[in-house]
Amino acid sequence: MATVPFDQLDGHIWLNGAFVPWADAKVHVLSHGLHYASAVFEGERAYGGEIFKLTEHTERLHESARILGFEIPWSVAEIDDACRELLKMQRFRDAYVRPIAWRGSEQMGVSAQNNKINAAIAIWQWPSYFDPAQKLKGIRLDMAQYRRPDPRTAPSKSKAAGLYMICTLSKHAAEAKGYADALMLDWRGRVAEATGANVFFVQDGVIHTPDPDCFLDGITRRTVIDLAKRRGYEVVEREIMPEEMEGFEQCFLTGTAAEVTPVSEIGPYRFTVGEIAQNLMNDYTAEVTPNHALAAE
């Protein structure tokens, strides 16, 4: 089935403080953010008309901008309000929410100290990041050629647009081979993350996940760690070498788009879709559902 290009969807987009028709939400071709990747963004999901952990995402958007050396002119509260209002205008209950901020076109060159800071929010329906049938039996990952960089060479704590260039290249290469995604190592050769999601492994009932010292500590990642601890699972954050994957029994990814997605294969390594991954999938679904009734510890 053909898909509609994103610039031809219907509705409105919040742009620099105003709600404008979708087709009118445009930027100039000489925007600094396009040429020099001076842009930061968030990925959020709405469930049942409520945006999950909205303020936490907006706070990270502001912090990402600070790391890139600029200040977003709209407060956390103002962006939160705009997201909620736009969700109502779009008349969606379940949707994907994409706030973004970038340097404008006033100055073109590496230095852009005086450029206007722009911000926009778009909301659309995006039911599943991975094929649902594939997700239930565990997706297959390739090993990526590119590695997450040393934090001394890139602002790895920021959700910055430029950091995703090697993710796009890696995912394209994986898809060309028939995989759903790719696992990236870091510059030291340790397991890092997938191209747009964090990774977890299970061995003997214990959950292991890489220490996010050179890649994003995802909001979904932290949510799932909390859910795992509520169930009494032990969670170990540590450095993981790729050869350790031989001994892991289960594997799953976490992210706003990916939610909780089991993995059946990473390169030469195989995993089962086990009870822990399935429990956390169900727990996450309950957690993001408005008025969920999970028992508190």
Catalytic residues: 159
Amino acid (1-letter code) at residue 297: E
CA-based angle 143:140:52, to the nearest 5? Answer: 100
CA distance 78 to 74: 6
Which DSSP category does 150 fall into? P
Alpha carbons 7 and 199: distance in angstroms, whole number:
32
216, 156 contact by CB (below 8 A): yes
Can you list the positions of beta strands (E) in the chain?
12-15, 18-21, 39-41, 44-47, 50-51, 95-103, 117-124, 139-143, 181-185, 191-194, 198-203, 206-210, 234-238, 250-255, 259-266, 269-270
Pairing of strands 12-15, 117-124: antiparallel
What is the separation of C-alpha 120 from the centre of its chain, rounded to a whole number of angstroms? Answer: 17
As given in the structure block, the two tokens for residue 117 are 């800071």
